[in-house]
Amino acid sequence: MADAHRAAGGAPDETPAPSSAPAPGAPAGDDDASTSGAGAVAARTALTAAVREIELHVARAGWD
């Protein structure tokens, strides 16, 4: 995908890969600790807004 983006004249994708590290203070094996709490809610809200904005751009450009 990054190669296609670069070929189209865009800047290289420098987005870091998501970390699979557990949340600070989370017990080992507790997957829910990294996906709950106010910080996680804010992150999901921001991500949802970003996805909606991308979907609007895609629809306006007729790429769907």
Of 28, 50, 53, 23, give the one whose Cα is nearest residue 38: 23
Cβ atoms of 22 and 28 within 8 Å: the answer is: yes
Residue 14: the pLDDT is 60
- d(CA 50, CA 54) in angstroms, rounded, equals 6
53 φ/ψ angles, rounded to the nearest 5 degrees? -65, -40
What pTM was computed for the model?
A: 0.42
3-class state of residue 31 by DSSP: helix
Asked if the model's pLDDT at residue 8 lies above 60, the reply is no
pLDDT digits 0-9 by tens, 21-51 = 666 666 665 555 556 688 888 899 999 999 9
Q: Domain extents for the chain?
A: 35-64
- d(CA 20, CA 15) in angstroms, rounded, equals 15
Residue 49: the pLDDT is 96
